[in-house]
Amino acid sequence: MDEDRRLIHRMRQGDDSAIEEFVRKYYPAILRYCRVHIRDSGYAEDMAQETFAHFFRSLPQYRHYGKAANYLYVIAGNCCRDHCRKHQELPLEALPECAEDSLEERMDVRLAMTRLPKEYREAAYLFFVQGLPQARIAKILGIGIPLVKYRIKRARTLLAALLKTEECI
Question: How far apart are the C-alpha atoms of 110 and 168, rounded to whole Å?
Answer: 9
| pLDDT over threshold 90, residue 26 | yes
For residue 120, the 8-state DSSP code is: H
CB 95 within 8 A of CB 110: yes
CATH of 1-92, one of 2.170.120.20, 3.40.50.300, 3.40.50.2300, 1.10.1740.10: 1.10.1740.10
Of the two residues 29 and 87, the one the predictor is more confident about is: 29
Question: How far apart are the C-alpha atoms of 114 and 10, rounded to whole Å?
Answer: 40
Question: How far apart are the C-alpha atoms of 79 and 33, rounded to whole Å?
Answer: 11
CB 134 within 8 A of CB 149: yes
Give the pLDDT score at 48: 92
Question: How far apart are the C-alpha atoms of 20 and 37, rounded to whole Å?
Answer: 25
Class of the CATH domain delimited by 98-169:
mainly alpha
CB 36 within 8 A of CB 47: no
Give the pLDDT score at 24: 93
Dump the DSSP string for 4-41: HHHHHHHHHTT-HHHHHHHHHHHHHHHHHHHHHH-SSH
Give the pLDDT score at 101: 47
CA 106 to chain centre: 19
Give the pLDDT score at 87: 64
Backbone angles phi, psi at 60, to 5 degrees: -60, -30
pTM of the model: 0.56
Of the two residues 129 and 166, the one the predictor is more confident about is: 129
Of the two residues 33 and 113, the one the predictor is more confident about is: 33
Give the model confidence (pLDDT) of 101-146 as tens digits: 455 665 677 777 778 888 888 888 888 877 888 988 888 888 998 9
Give the pLDDT score at 107: 64
Question: How far apart are the C-alpha atoms of 65 and 78, rounded to whole Å?
Answer: 20
Give the model confidence (pLDDT) of 51-79 as tens digits: 999 999 988 888 877 788 888 988 998 88
The domain limits of the chain are 1-92, 98-169
